Amino acid sequence: MRKTDLEKVFKNYSKARTSDREERNLAKFFAHYEKQVDESAVSDSYRNEMLKAIEAKIDGRTGKVRRLFPEWLKVAASVMILIAMAYGSFQIYDSQKQIQYAMASTERGQKTTLTLSDGSLIYLNAESSLKYPEFFNQDHREVWLEGEAFFEVARDESRPFIIHSQHAETTVLGTSFTVSDYADSEASVTVSTGKVRVFSAQLDSSLILVPNDRLILREQNMVLSQVNAAEQNAWYKGILRFDGARLESLVPKLERWYAVDFIVEDPELLNCAISGKFKNASLTSFLESLKFIHGLEYEFNDQDQVILKGKICK
């Protein structure tokens, strides 16, 4: 079967438009290649992902999965993968230029959870976005982050998982960690499990992080410290925890979390060290805690902004 004919049949089949003759030819094609396909050239995880992608494509276009001969599906997937590698012709796994990307984003006060095609879970924090391919290729897995996200990466030693953000490139095989890279805050990576490699192009330097490591990336250097990662990364469970953090550094985070503007009346209060653990706390509950623990007063103006004020900071 010629390449152009094969492309036409694949496209028709994905749209449930194949004739009986085309279906017979396609079955013969798969039968011919059954013993010729070197399945070892395609990793199990990648093949399984392509099987899911094929079924998802068909299901999305026709409302159901329409199988010619189910026993040929695995062979078909392997054949199509190799054809794509050779010709770059089939839409699902075409050349890099034609990879289809999706974008997930959140507004202030929002969070969302994503499951990627490899099974990785992504918890996207407020005012963040993640660009990712509908499926990953067999060499690596790449996503692009703006803002903050907690990653639970499905382990695949043959395909590193790479997160690109403004100030860092974070590479893992399978682990859990938070990458935070907002424009108005210092970039950081906090590791819960596994090992993570963080590279800074600006500093031309990289570090390997292990559980409970937190790396802060600054313009001139990178600062590594030990933290309780389970607590630091608990935000995706609805928990805010602060351990002596300056109020000035917390204001942008609180504005994203509660979708409200904060105004600090007295600049000296910006140095106030805030501590506490707040689980699924409403804005009013959080402000009352600040008042009780740190002596900070608050009020809302006619624009629904929070005014923080006070003479002391406990």
pLDDT tens-digit readout, 72-97: 455 555 555 555 544 444 444 444 45
Say what the pLDDT of residue 220 is: 87
- The strand ranges marked E within the chain are 101-105, 112-115, 121-124, 129-133, 141-152, 161-164, 169-172, 176-181, 187-193, 196-200, 205-209, 213-217, 222-226, 239-246, 262-264, 273-279, 297-300, 306-309
Last residue within a domain, chosen from 214, 232, 250: 232
Instruction: Report the greatest alpha carbon distance in the chain.
Output: 84
Same domain, yes or no, for 103 and 223? Answer: yes
Low-confidence ranges of the chain (pLDDT < 50): 35-41, 57-72, 85-96
Residue 105 sits in the same domain as residue 224: yes
Same domain, 135 and 224: yes
Q: Mark 232-271 as b/e (b = at least 16 C-beta within 10 Å).
A: bbbbbeeebbbeeeebeebbebbbbbbebebebeeeebee
The domain of 243 spans: 238-309
Query: How is residue 273 written in tokens?
Result: 């060290």
**Of 197, 232, 267, which marks where a domain is finished?**
232
Q: Please give the pLDDT value at position 81.
A: 54
216 and 264 fall within a common domain = no
Residue position matching structure tokens 């689980």 = 279
Q: Are residues 38 and 73 in the same domain?
A: yes
Number of domains in the chain: 3
Q: Domain boundary residue among 31, 66, 97?
A: 97
Radius of gyration of the chain (CA): 25
Residue 200, SS3 per DSSP? strand
Mutual orientation of helices 20-33 and 3-14 as an angle, nearest 10°? 120
Say if residue 114 is in the same domain as residue 228.
Answer: yes
State the pTM of this model.
Answer: 0.69
Q: What's the pLDDT at 313?
A: 78
Q: What is the DSSP code string of 63-105?
A: SS---S-GGGHHHHHHHHHHHHHHH--SGGG--GGG--EEEEE
How far, in Å, CA of 207 to CA of 186, rounded? 17
Could you tell me if residue 9 is inside a domain? yes
Does residue 27 lie within any of the structural domains? yes
Residue 62 domain flag:
yes
Query: So what's the pLDDT on residue 99?
Result: 82
Q: Is 314 among the domain residues?
A: no
Q: Are residues 268 and 301 in the same domain?
A: yes
DSSP letter, residue 227: -
Number of H helices, E strands in the chain: 7, 18
CATH number at residue 274: 3.55.50.30
Cβ(276)–Cβ(289) below 8 Å: yes
Q: Is residue 37 part of a domain?
A: yes
Check whether residue 196 and residue 118 sit in a common domain. yes
Structure tokens at 225: 């410290």
CA distances from 51 to 54, 58, 93, 118, 204 (A): 5, 11, 12, 12, 39
Are the C-beta atoms of residues 51 and 73 closer than 8 Å to each other? Answer: yes
What is the pLDDT at residue 29?
63
Residue 204 sits in a domain whose CATH number is 2.60.120.1440
33 and 118 in one domain? no
Q: Are residues 59 and 106 in the same domain?
A: no
At position 225, the amino acid (one-letter code) is S
Task: Report the C-alpha gap between 156 and 35 in whole angstroms.
Answer: 27
pLDDT of residue 158: 92
CA distance 173 to 185: 27
Q: First and final CA of the chain: distance in angstroms?
A: 79
Percent residues over pLDDT 90 in the chain: 60
Query: Is 131 in the same domain as 218?
Result: yes
Query: Is the residue at 41 inside a domain?
Result: yes
Q: Are residues 13 and 129 in the same domain?
A: no
